[in-house]
Structure 1
Amino acid sequence: MKLTVVGGGSTYTPELIDGFARLRDTLPVEELVLVDPAAERLALVGGLARRILARQGHPGRVVTTSDLDAGVEGADAVLLQLRVGGQAAREQDETWPLECGCIGQETTGAGGLAKALRTVPVVLDIAERVRRANPRAWIIDFTNPVGIVTRALLQAGHRAVGLCNVAIGLQRKFAALLGTDPREVHLDHVGLNHLTWETGVRLGGPEGANVLPKLLAGHGDAIADDLRLPRPLLDRLGVVPSYYLRYYYAHDEVVRELGTKPSRAAEVAAMERELLTMYGDPSLDEKPALLARRGGAFYSEAAVDLAASLLGGGGSPYQVVNTLNKGTLPFLPDDAVIEVQAAVGPTGAAPLPVPDLDPLYAGLVANVTAYEELALEAALRGGRDRVFRALLSHPLIGQYAYADALTDRLIAHNREHLAWA
């Protein structure tokens, strides 16, 4: 089995390698190709990857290359984890929206749109080259904004599934609170990427007993603290929102916070410099503890599980993924991409049935889905007016003066990445 990671020079990658090594029986990778244009980073990450596999006795071969076409040739699955513009672009995404009093974040609001505009054309070019190399290869997209990028891939006819680590992180957290094996915890997870709610927590599978009320009653304070939302709000909702919902439920509070501290991008950039220094140590043969602070917790477990199921191995029968709606949420178009539990196998991901969604959540999901459609149109066709329309439609913006100002800033800060600008 050959797997290729595009963006293999990412400081995330050792987390992924550690998962491949530990879970070799689930996903027996024989050749792992790391593709990245940043030669120095790639050499450091590739060296550590080989040492991690060797320490754990994994027989797989690690290949590093800057040649995308050679890297994807014959690959059974291709994982996308790229960042167009690097941390410098992320730093801008997180700062210039604040000038207009709006959220500065790399996947949500104006910053998220900027990332989509930079990313979608690049990902589609990569996907076409994957298709030429092996039409049966699966593309697993971990590149943000996952919902928009996955919709672009599926709309273009690629064999693709989107992946995010929010659900698996909550699954692990709830399992720890319940004192049970994470494999016994099934989430009623519904919404869009970075806009989801856990409407149920079931033990044993989709038909298991719902213990969410018990979780909220016994551990509501701890859950609320993790989400940085007030406990009374969780009690009133009766569900557990993802931590990204704080950008909506406490928008002005978050904007004030973001204006008083260094950006997350600056923190991550400093962390990456330290991690790359560690990766260059020839005695290091395991992922360092610092990597846990980088983000992407449990990414490797989720990626291995998904790849194993798509390639016919022993992955879990049900997984939270990003895939086509196809009537699952009847108030959305069939070609919208939603994030829900799905039955996953060699033919792809089929969403499990979802009970009628409370209008409190359905309204926001419908609004953001409309924004994502406009965002994808702007990413594919370009033009100032399409960018403006997408920003005006977003519930975190929604005022024409803000949308106008943000459009100008977005184009100014991203001109080198926008072919039409």
Structure 2
Amino acid sequence: MDELAERYVKLVLALGEHDSGYVDAYYGPDSWVTDAKKMNLSAQQIAGQAKQLHQQLAALVDNDEEMEKLRGHYLDRQLVALQAHANAIASGKRAAFDSQSQSLYDTVAPTHAFEHFAQPLAELEALLPGDAPLNQRVETFLMQFYIPREKQDAVFARAIEECRSRTKAHIQLPMHENFTLEYVQDKPWSGYNWYQGNAQSLIQLNVELPIEISRAVDLGCHEGYPGHHTYNALLENNLVNEKGWLEFSVYPLYSPQSLIAEGSANYGIELAFPGEQKEQFERDVLFPLAGIDPQLAEQYAEFNRLKAELSYASNEVARQYLAGTLPAEKAIELLQTYSLYSPEKAAQRIRFFDTYGAYVINYNWGKDLVKDYVEQAKSEDERWQRFARLLASPRVPSSIFWN
């Protein structure tokens, strides 16, 4: 298995030579990078070798030990995704949305007709009355909650500090773990964690568009604690350092691992701030820090609750847009109608679809799968334990509920 894992890592690195965004993180042996470059494989050759590895993996003797079974299944699903992405690069064509989801992320998200979102939209209409289109009323409403540029650093630092404190109260992280925070612009995403290995991360926040106050906790948890930084640090410590499973020293973005990563990062927000605790922390700490009136917090929390019910609308726009049945202009219009984006945010979202394809399912569907897994436990302590167990194990969507 170790030999097969090494060959898998080198194929991932080799495919990274064809797609600069594919290898999200790597902290394995430097010699493997050199080996991957020397292989000089075409995307088609990589797909063929991934298929051969997949067949060899299937022939290995089954192991009844839980972590070994999970490891074998992880490699099985990751090899399927590696082959699929290599084939897409070789052909220059992406698969249909749901086929892409299954092959790359090991699951298919539920489909919702746009009528599914009528109720939360009606409630938002009542919450923000007026004659202008709803998305314009939303934009006007949200202007009250944008963090002033000169106060962003203080607000984000305080939010991340709180996310970190709450996470460390339940999850043991390496003593030397840390991150560097940078502000960037002109990106298709709002935040990104670039894991560096040795429990270190570079967290980048995109400040080209105005940032709402609620995004401070969201991004602090998602990119840092108990999200991506925590996930990668636990994988490195528990699987790479302790077990020597070097396949976890590489993170291919378009793979089942991403659904667990994004899903746990999004669910981690409500795990760290259960019930009304996020609203209370924002009202009592972040609002004053940003110079926002705390009396607006209750209405803002209700707005965010209703807007969260529109999460899957973005998936439906992406599904049709990527199928070529929805022009970009119409997709931007639908994102404004059903996701209540500003024109600028909707255009940024189209850039995300163009760049990452069906990756969008990892945020909402991934969160729902992780939530279902973690909340089989009833007490807060047990939920944190179950969450940490997920982050420190080689689970993918099709094995997440294995005992």
The verdict on a shared fold, with TM-score over 0.5 as the criterion, is: no
Give the TM-score taking structure 1 as reference length. 0.30
Higher relative contact order (CA 8 A, sep 6+): 2
Which is strand-richer, 1 or 2? 1
Which is helix-richer, 1 or 2? 2
